[in-house]
Structure 1
Amino acid sequence: MDTGEGAAGSPAGAGGVVEGEDAWEPLSEDVRRTLELLFDGDSDEQRGFRAQIPHALMAKSDCRCPCVYLRVDTDAVARVPMERKVDGVAGASLINAEGGYDGEATVLAGSGVMFDLQFCDWEDRGPEPLRLWEWLGPRHSMAHPADPPETGPDGRGRGRPGRRAFRPWRWPWRGLRRPGV
């Protein structure tokens, strides 16, 4: 079993955030369905992480949001090739029962293994009365282009070779303002 092998922020890398084997349990129906919806794409990366879901266990985090740590049996399923050691690999907006923006959901992976399903809930009330997976709104692509362009945005060769033409991934809630503020 693996939690991202010492990835920063993972239970394995945090020096024992999740204590004991008893803390790990099979994925709840809500968490399983949430992960399946977050990884519903057709890319190799999406299929790879979706294949990890049946081989994953969860441990509840200590925050009030329904965040969970994930642990994947890497003897039973392959790691997903990643450009970065730790990265957000899936995400979605959270939409409350009234249809308002409520925050963000993000799946983090380290060394090709899912290790965290995080919810940043502005109101800190959770999804009630919605089920966890019903709380998900529009999905965010976390994909990185395979081949960065060799030219600049004007198409005249002003880009630097090997440089990406996109902004690196950041926590999705950075820079977002809370509704009504």
Structure 2
Amino acid sequence: MRRLLAVSLVGAATTPLAGAAHAVEMNVTVTIPSLGVAEYHRPYVSMWIEKADQTPVATLAVWYDGKKKGGEGTKWLKDMRQWWRKAGRDLNMPADGISGATRAPAEQVISFSDGRAPLGKLAPGDYQLVVEAARETGGHEVVRVPFTWPPAAAAASASAQARGEHELGPVTLVVKP
């Protein structure tokens, strides 16, 4: 069963950063829960940014099993259906700076800065961080966290959190001006 979750950005300012003289940082924490099941497989996870109207902007990360013989791991990427339809089918794997190995159950933290891709090209506006997980012999889940880019200069930082119900735990987004 697929679940879509969304929350509002807490403490988000609506005015863009004037002059963008300071580096802006975006930290994403994705919790992969430990599941008590007989046959556990690490989930494939994709993270991307999309506009408020759900138009994809940039893929941030794709975690999958790239070490399977003959590239077998890539055939399961399409199980992350939303990401696959919006951006995945056009991406050649492995993708430098984006793709990596599946992760064990725990909090996983990734940081991005506006001076580098993909945030360096992100126009001011309202967006969503989308995290999708699919697991062999398991479930599928999508979590959405809305945010405004860039954050206002006056804000110390803006943060938001959404929580998955099975395949994903809390997903936290912190944007620091």
- Common topology (TM > 0.5): no
Given the two structures, how large is their TM-score scaled by the length of structure 2? 0.27
Larger gyration radius, structure 1 or structure 2: 1
Bigger RCO (CA 8 Å, 6+ sep):
2
The structure with more strand, counted as a fraction of residues: 2
